[in-house]
Amino acid sequence: MSDKPLLEVRNLSTYFYTQDGIVKAVDGVSYAVDRGETIALVGESGCGKTVSALSILRLIPEPPGKIASGEILFDGIDILTLPKDRMLDIRGDRIAMIFQEPLTALNPVLTIGLQITEALERHRNMHGAVALEEAIRLLKIVGIPQPDQRVKDYPHQFSGGMRQRAMIALAISCEPELIIADEPTTVVDVTIQAQLLELIRGITEKLNTALILITHNLGIVARYAHRVYVMYAGHIIEHGSSQDIYHHPCHPYTRGLLASVPRLDEPRKTRLQPIEGQPPDLIQLPPGCAFGPRCPHVIDACRQAVPPMTEVSPGHYAACRLAVPDRKQS
Partner 1 sequence: MITDTVRPHRSLWGDAFIRLRRNRLAVTGGVIILLIALTTIIYPFFSRYDFASQDLNAILQSPSMKHFLGTDELGRDVFTRLIYGARTSLSVGIFTQLIVLGIGLPLGAISGAAGGRADNLIMRFVDVIYAFPDLLLIILLRAILGGSIYMIFLAIGLVSWVNVARLVRGQTLALKQRDFVTAARVFGGFGSYITTRHLLPNSLGPVIVAVTFNIPRAIFAEAALAYIGIGVKPPTPSWGAMIRDGNNVIFAAPHLVLFPAIAIGILMLSFTFLGDGLRDALDPRLRR
Question: Cα-Cα-Cα-Cα dihedral of 80, 83, 89, 93, to 10°?
Answer: -10
Q: Is 326 in the site for partner 1 (CB under 8 A)?
A: no
- Please state the closest distance from residue 239 (CB atom) to partner 1, in A: 25
Q: Which residues are CB-contacts of 158 (< 8 A; sequence separation ≥ 6)?
A: 112, 150, 166
Task: Give the 3-state secondary structure of residue 154.
Answer: coil
Interface residue with partner 1 among 26, 119, 225, 236 (CB under 8 A) is 119
Q: Which residues are CB-contacts of 140 (< 8 A; sequence separation ≥ 6)?
A: 147
- Asked if 130 and 165 touch (Cβ cutoff 8 Å), the reply is no
Nearer residue to partner 1 within complex by CB, 80 or 88: 88
The span of 22-30, 114-122, 127-135, 322-330 binding partner 1 (CB under 8 A) equals 114-122
The span of 143-151, 232-240, 274-282, 289-297 binding partner 1 (CB under 8 A) equals 143-151
**CA distances, 317 to each of 120, 239, 251, 321, 324 (Å):** 41, 5, 9, 12, 10
Q: Is 88 in the site for partner 1 (CB under 8 A)?
A: yes
The span of 31-39, 98-106, 200-208, 318-326 binding partner 1 (CB under 8 A) equals 98-106
The span of 102-110, 206-214, 235-243, 298-306 binding partner 1 (CB under 8 A) equals 102-110
The DSSP H or E segment spanning 43 is: none
Beta bridge partners of 14: 26, 67
Nearer residue to partner 1 within complex by CB, 58 or 226: 58
Distance CA(110)–CA(113), nearest Å, equals: 8
Q: Is 319 in the site for partner 1 (CB under 8 A)?
A: no
Q: Is 169 in the site for partner 1 (CB under 8 A)?
A: no
Q: Whose CA is closest to 111, among 155, 162, 170, 142?
A: 155
Q: How many residues bind partner 1 (CB under 8 A)?
A: 36
Say if strands 95-98 and 178-182 run parallel, antiparallel, or are unpaired.
Answer: parallel
Q: Is 59 in the site for partner 1 (CB under 8 A)?
A: yes
Q: Is 199 in the site for partner 1 (CB under 8 A)?
A: no
Q: Whose CA is closest to 143, among 164, 122, 118?
A: 164
Q: Is 92 in the site for partner 1 (CB under 8 A)?
A: yes
Q: Is 17 in the site for partner 1 (CB under 8 A)?
A: no
- Please state the closest distance from residue 118 (CB atom) to partner 1, in A: 6
Q: Whose CA is closest to 169, among 223, 115, 248, 230?
A: 115
Q: Is 162 in the site for partner 1 (CB under 8 A)?
A: yes
Nearer residue to partner 1 within complex by CB, 59 or 259: 59
Task: Tell me which residues touch partner 1 (CB under 8 A).
Answer: 57, 59, 88-89, 91-93, 96-97, 99, 101, 104-110, 118-119, 122-123, 143-146, 149, 152-154, 156-157, 159, 161-162, 170
